Amino acid sequence: MARRLNWSDVTPKDSWMNRRAVLAGAGAILATPALARIEPAKSPLSTDAAPNTRAEITTYNNFYEFGLDKGDPARNARLLTTDPWEVKISGLVDRPGSYGLADILKDAALEERIYRFRCVEAWSMVIPWIGFELSHLLNKVGVQPSAKYVAFETLVRPEEMPGQQSAILDWPYREGLRLDEAMHPLTILATGLYGDPMPNQNGAPIRLVVPWKYGFKSIKSIVSIRLTDTQPETSWNIQNAREYGFFSNVNPQVDHPRWSQASERRVGAGIFAGREDTAMFNGYGDQVAGLYAGQDLTRNF
């Protein structure tokens, strides 16, 4: 039986290398050596805005599994073990199972792209993710006709994720998307940024990125993907449904009950920089507004 590849079998390369092109094993020889230095293509959906620095992206994070302060993940995430890593795919799919991360990446090699996306909460960044469309993986496992939603769960390992020793949320962290949202080409699974493997504090080794939604929808350190015909529970909606709806689309016209969402602060812009107006769907309205035709987005927030 063929050995299942572990995350360590994916050999990281220098900046902007195709990390999926090199899958090392004992005595392995690359079938196409030139692939080792192919730069991932930039997605045509990427923004042209200048990205935030690596330091800004990796030291200012919301990842409550490692603490409530935005600097806690960078301080505490070094404890997280990400090799080996498996993602369990279950529910209304034709080929359920536990998939090793390196096997997923090997299969997705030709799909790797650089996605320079704006990400927003009450603050915003531009992050050069490396990843592939979630739809690629879902198509591989075979979405059954009755599936309507995709549910995700984060790893639970309180000995390595000290924030899980608190009761701030009902662990594991859970999120979900409608199936049409999950299949949209803007919805990606990211495995790196700035050409390197994903840092632990940013959701290593694999995370969701949904750039037209608030950042908490982009669940990190995914271990479970489940296709279902019912709307899944999501962590912040469980914690406070009045403040956090299922959709969580960026919408400057719908205020959070405790603050306005009409403007945002760009991380790294400097203390004298003003706040920027928040764009509907975080500026991706041309691509995604059609998903919500006929919905009242002040009620379906």
Of 121-135, 144-158, 220-234, least confident by mean pLDDT is: 121-135
CB of 146 within 8 A of CB of 227? no
Give tens-digit pLDDT for 147-175: 999 999 999 999 999 999 999 999 999 99
pLDDT of residue 25: 34
CB of 244 within 8 A of CB of 218? no
CATH class of 41-292: alpha beta
Residue 27, pLDDT above cutoff 70: no
Please give the residue that has the higher pLDDT: either 286 or 22.
Answer: 286
pLDDT of residue 19: 46
This prediction has a pTM of: 0.88
pLDDT category, 5, cuts 50, 70, 90? very low
Q: What is the largest CA-CA distance in the chain?
A: 61
Using CA of residue 183, residue 189, residue 195, residue 201, what is the dihedral sign? positive
pLDDT of residue 85: 97
Provide mean pLDDT across the span 24-29.
30
Residue 14 tokens, joined: 């220098």
For residues 155 and 150, give the distance between their C-alpha atoms in angstroms, rounded to a whole number. Answer: 17
Using CA of residue 277, residue 178, residue 230, residue 161, what is the dihedral sign? negative
* DSSP code at position 67: -
pLDDT of residue 110: 53
